[in-house]
Amino acid sequence: MTSLRTDRPEVLVSIDIEASGPTPANGALLAIGACLVERPEAALYLELQPPADAPWDPDAARIHRLDRARLEREGLPPAEAAARLERWLHDVAGDATPVFVGLNAGFDWMFIADLVWRELGHNPFGHAPLDLKALYMGRDHVTRWAATGKGDITQRYPVTSRHTHHALEDARMQAELARQLFDRPDRSEASRET
């Protein structure tokens, strides 16, 4: 397991994925969008070949709108996608520790962790993601997990980017939201009044 060294600087990396199902066991990772939280123009977008036997959930397909036949022809093999992700992380983070940032990070994290452990034998992000929903909950003293949806958060922290279900566009939207959550003054007093 990769050890996170506390003496190294950190770089926040917004990650979003699209998948053909709800878990790596019953779906395939189809697309990865990544960008630096502080420099969203430093970005990576990858589309992957789904394994021939991977389930294809029609509900998920309506959301991600990726064509399976095109991905089978043009997508990257998973090993190449994992190598490109790691190379990009090295290029943009250098010696800093990359920190995985996601909105509902658990979902995106499980697909990335599965890919990199299978293909690289390690996880460049270490063993834990930073979840923006949990950050929002703690920061604004929100007491119900059900009140941490994207709409709830962006109502308090408006963003100009739209959520489109394109992995890179959504990673950039998450980066914008992360900057707001980190940069704005504590809003806990306002949240207690609502």
- Ramachandran bin of 59, using left for φ above 0, alpha for ψ from -120 to 50, beta for the remaining angles: alpha
55 Cβ contact list (under 8 Å, min separation 6): 20, 21, 26, 27, 28
172's tokens = 């950039």
Whether 141 sits among the annotated catalytic residues: the reply is no
- Per-residue DSSP letter, 144: -
**Which helix (H) or strand (E) covers residue 98, if one does?**
strand 97-102
Identify the CA nearest to 65 among candidates 172, 166, 174.
Answer: 166
Beta 29-36 vs 97-102: how paired, if at all? unpaired
Task: Exactly one of 122, 163, 165, 166 is catalytic; name it.
Answer: 165
Rounded Cα gap, residues 31 and 160, in angstroms: 23
Active site residues: 165
